[in-house]
Amino acid sequence: MAEIQVENLKVVYRGVILALQGVSLRAGAGEAVALLGPNGAGKSTLVRSLAGLLPQYDGRVLDGRILLNGQESHHLPALKVASLGLTAILEGRPIFRYLTVVENLRAAGHKLPPERQKAITEEIFTRFPRLYERRFEQGGYLSGGEQQMLLLGMALLTEPKILVVDEPSLGLSPKLTEEVMRVLDELRRDKGLTLLLVEQNAKAAFSIVERVYVMEQGRIVFEGTSQEAQADADVMEFYLGGAAAGGFAEAKRYRRRKRWV
Amino acid sequence: MDLALNLQTALNGLANGALYAVIAAGFVLVYRATSVVNFAIAEFLLIGAYLTYTFSLFLPLLPAILLALPLAFAFGVLVERVFVRPLLGRNVVAVIMATIGLASALDGATLLIWGPDQKAMGTADAFQLPKEVPNLALRLGEVFLSSKAVWSLILALPLALLLIAMLKYSRYGILLRAISESETAALALGINAPRVVAVAWGISALMATVGGAFLAGAAGGGGPGHHLILLGLVVFPVAILGGFDSVPGAVVAGLLIGLIEAFSQLYLESLLPGITQAIPFLIVLLVLLFRPYGLFGQHRIERV
């Protein structure tokens, strides 16, 4: 088991756009932590930073550091980060659309010896029988839910210690979202993973995490247990839609109440 | 119509087409891996031919080709590391200009090293070993196949087919196809994308060497010279006809262009001198008009 520690992380894109303005966050070994926040809060930037993928987006760490199981990783390239046991499932369900299900799994498990790869693939097909049925179809033709299952299977084949999942519920029906969350929770418990779940769907995230962080405009604005988050009027209002929508007065009220920013 | 003559023309056309196919397959492989159009592919072919020629000064031609292959592979990897990788992700025009610049630089370098004259393969043999590749010329009834044609069919064509199989079934092929879709997603899964891409450039240079050595006359028919650059340019119509991103498409298109060239030589050249050289490019014009994605271009996956 491994832990994630982010200390005062500042990230800039193209040298000018400050996307993270001193983010600190921790996920203990084997813990499930959610990172919530609206669009543009900087959640995906944090995922990219954790995965060592900032250079791919013309970004870089300006200040602060990331520790994965005690080892500094914010200056490491993606391949080194992966070798430390962190696997990131990026937003937008990035399966390989022209590869079949089996080929996607082979690509993900390319580092494993064949027997190990076979054993894990069988486990994946047992967990997700639908993937087995569609194993020779191209990933692009799978439904959103099946693609998400495939991504989880691919992540399993990297034998991660830390799993970072960015917006797994995006575009899924409530029922499928529930199913994805159940599977994530099951995997975390079975494999002893440290899970950082990045979500906009707070309700879905609360169901499987122990602690919650909320991000706004590149900063952490709330930190607490899942229960504390659900008891917090602001978090509930802004992320579970508690407030009545619409109107200038509502917008002003929103700004006034958003005292954390 | 003379059936034997037509059959002979078809087989010789296929043999020449196999050389185009092997070069174009390598070219498309690089495009699949990096989305970079390697405008220096004709120079890759030229360098491969000159390397073979240089080794052929000391060794028989077959070992000379075999020795040239690893050097060509290393050359391809070097080009990727030095010229291409630093430019990936930049403006596409910058990458195009870089490969065009590379082509000019390689032209100049080959002129400096090997001079402007056309060479003859294996003219000197320091160890007095047999110079030529074994003569495999065949006569089947009235159909005659030159040694070059047989060598092309038994070496270049299987090599191109091997590349297709490798891309489809091997671990490396799957990783390369994955990277061609999203290098970022591949990196997130711990796939060593830079290494896979570099190997693709190496393979491309290696295949250009096989094509270049035989086009340049490793099995008879002249020797390396700058005329090879013109021959190498046929790769572009072949790749476009095949779909540009399809390695099997490139192989089929290579064979097709070889066939069309051969029959045009037989039937049209006397009526329209020079048509054989122009025909691949005329085909490209037609393909671009009616099938912009070529014969085997990848269909976009769209869920409805």
pTM over 0.90: no
Among residues B209, B138, B210, B148, the alpha carbon closest in space to that of B14 is found at B148
Indicate the pLDDT class of residue B92, thresholds 50, 70 and 90: confident
CATH architecture for segment(s) A4-257: 3-Layer(aba) Sandwich (3.40)
**Residue of B189, B191, B300 to mutate when probing chain A, most A C-beta within 10 A:** B189
Judged by phi (left if over 0) then psi (alpha if -120 to 50, else beta), residue A58 lies in left
Alpha carbon distance A162, A85 (integer Å): 6
Alpha carbon distance B27, B41 (integer Å): 7
- For A205, B130, B245, B262, the CA distances from B24, given in Å and listed in that order, are 50, 31, 11, 18
Segment holding B71, helix H or strand E? helix B61-79
Q: Residues B143, B144, B148, CA angle at the centre, nearest 5°?
A: 140
Percent of chain A with pLDDT over 90: 66
Nearest CB partner across the interface for A96, out of B89, B182, B192:
B182
Segment holding A65, helix H or strand E? strand A59-68
| Per-residue b or e along A235-252, where b marks 16 or more CB atoms closer than 10 Å to that residue's CB | bbbbbeeeeeeeeeeeee
Query: Cβ–Cβ of B298/A98 closer than 8 Å?
Result: yes
Minimum CA–CA partner of B175 in chain A: A107
Distance in Å, alpha carbon of B239 to nearest chain A alpha carbon = 20
Asked if A187 contacts A152 with a C-beta cutoff of 8 angstroms, the reply is: yes
Residue B217, pLDDT > 80, answer no
- CATH class, B3-290 region: mainly alpha
Residue B163, pLDDT > 80, answer yes
Summarize pLDDT for B239-296 with one digit per residue, the tens.
999 988 899 999 999 999 999 999 998 888 888 888 888 888 888 888 888 888 888 8
What's phi and psi for A11, nearest 5 deg?
-125, 140
Residue ranges of chain B whose CB lies within 8 Å of a chain A CB? 89, 171, 174-175, 177-178, 181-192, 298, 301, 303
Query: Cβ–Cβ of B301/A140 closer than 8 Å?
Result: yes
- Here the tokens at position B284 are 């490209």
Summarize pLDDT for A49-83 with one digit per residue, the tens.
999 999 999 999 999 999 998 899 999 999 999 99
Instruction: Give the start-to-end residue ranges of the domains of chain B.
Output: 3-290
Q: In what order do the strands lie in the sheet with A17-27?
A: A17-27, A4-13, A59-68, A71-72
Alpha carbon distance B218, A72 (integer Å): 56
What confidence score (pLDDT) does residue B4 get? Answer: 85
ipTM attached to this prediction: 0.86
Instruction: Give the start-to-end residue ranges of the domains of chain A.
Output: 4-257
- For B130, the 3-state DSSP assignment is coil
Summarize pLDDT for B134-150 with one digit per residue, the tens.
778 888 888 888 888 88
Query: Cβ–Cβ of B188/A78 closer than 8 Å?
Result: yes
What confidence score (pLDDT) does residue A1 get? Answer: 60
Alpha carbon distance A62, A12 (integer Å): 6
- For A166, the 3-state DSSP assignment is strand
**Residue of B187, B197, B298 to mutate when probing chain A, most A C-beta within 10 A:** B187
What confidence score (pLDDT) does residue A261 get? Answer: 43
Which residues does residue A215 pair with via DSSP β-bridges, in sequence order?
A220
pLDDT tens track, chain A, 261 positions: 679 999 999 999 998 899 999 999 999 999 999 999 888 899 999 999 999 999 999 999 999 999 998 899 999 999 999 999 999 999 888 999 999 999 999 999 999 999 999 999 999 999 999 999 999 999 999 998 899 999 999 999 999 999 999 999 888 888 889 888 999 999 999 999 999 999 988 888 888 999 999 998 999 999 999 999 888 887 777 766 554 444 455 555 555 555 454
Residue B69, pLDDT > 70, answer yes
Chain A residues whose beta carbon lies within 8 Å of the beta carbon of residue B183: 56
Per DSSP bridges, beta strands A4-13 and A17-27 are antiparallel
Alpha carbon distance A165, A155 (integer Å): 10
Alpha carbon distance B224, B119 (integer Å): 5
Q: Residues A41, A42, A46, CA angle at the centre, nearest 5°?
A: 150
Alpha carbon distance A171, B237 (integer Å): 42
Query: Cβ–Cβ of B188/A90 closer than 8 Å?
Result: yes
Chain B residues whose beta carbon lies within 8 Å of the beta carbon of residue A83: 190
Asked if B60 contacts B130 with a C-beta cutoff of 8 angstroms, the reply is: yes
Burial of residue A39 (number of CB atoms within 10 Å: 0-12, 13-18, 19+): exposed
Residue ranges of chain A whose CB lies within 8 Å of a chain B CB? 51-53, 56, 58, 78-79, 82-83, 87-90, 94-99, 103-104, 106-108, 110-111, 138, 140-141, 143, 154, 158
What confidence score (pLDDT) does residue A243 get? Answer: 45
